[in-house]
Amino acid sequence: MKRYLGVDLHRTQVAVCVRQGERVVEVRQWRIEQLPQFVAQLGSEDEIAVEAMGTTAGFYDAVVGRVARVVVVNPHQFKVISQSVKKTDRCDAEHLALYLEKGLLPEVRMKDKPQRELQHLLETRDLLVKQRAGAMQISSPALQSLSETFLSANQTTPRRRQSQSCAGPQAGQDRP
């Protein structure tokens, strides 16, 4: 039978509410180390709703092949959770499961793993380029001042060059 699972995901634990047949069947806490056991008990007809956050990608990759559907919810568009008075993991999981069952969740598209990795690389590169530019702006005046000090301290008078005309040696001068 089809189950609807609302998942409130955190770094160390996962709160899961299971709805089946218009009622709550189970609400349970899983430690993040127990994620393989959680994934093993999923059925192919199950549907899961989870909020989009920093740890969602790893959870998504672990469950996406085991269930019929994974809905990643934008928490800024789903005001039921973000503005709820009773803000507990259990309540958040129950709300996600209920609204998943009713088909009322604001879903976001989850990129596949290669796209996420490429995006991460591009964001990291952008950050490094900005940090490099900032470091150059900070260090450039200091380096310029230092080089001017060094040059003025070691400045010598330039040697005078003997000018030679293009016509060759003048009368009375020997050739070298």
Identify the pLDDT of residue 149: 76
pLDDT (mean) for 42-69: 93
Fold of 4-113: Nucleotidyltransferase; domain 5 (3.30.420)
Q: Which amino acid is at 93?
A: A
Per-residue pLDDT, 169: 55
Q: d(Cα 59, Cα 7) in Å, to the nearest integer?
A: 10
**Closest of 4, 23, 1, 117 to residue 71, by C-alpha:** 4
Asked if 141 contacts 108 with a C-beta cutoff of 8 angstroms, the reply is no
Single out the residue of 47, 60, 55, 57 nearest to residue 10, CA to CA: 55
Query: Max alpha carbon distance in the chain (Å)?
Result: 118
87 against 19, higher pLDDT? 19
Q: pLDDT (tens digit, 9 = 90+) per residue, 122-151?
A: 999 999 999 988 887 877 777 777 777 777
- Distance between CA 103 and CA 170 in Å, rounded? 102
Consecutive H or E run containing 129: helix 113-153
**55: its two tokens:** 């740890």
Amino acid type, 14:
V
For range 43-47, the mean pLDDT: 96
- Least Cα distance to 27 among 11, 41, 53, 8 occurs for 8
- Domain ranges in the chain are 4-113
Q: Please, which pLDDT band fits residue 174 given cuts at 50, 70 and 90?
A: low
- Residue 84's contacts (CB-CB under 8 Å, 6 or more residues apart) are 91, 92, 95
Lowest mean pLDDT among 9-23, 55-69, 157-171: 157-171
How far apart (Å, rounded) are the C-alpha atoms in residues 64 and 48?
9
Residue 161: the pLDDT is 47
* Interval 21-42: pLDDT, tens: 889 999 999 999 999 999 999 9
Q: Strands 47-51 and 107-108: what pairing?
A: unpaired
Instruction: Give the pLDDT of residue 168.
Output: 54
What is the average pLDDT across 110-122? Answer: 87
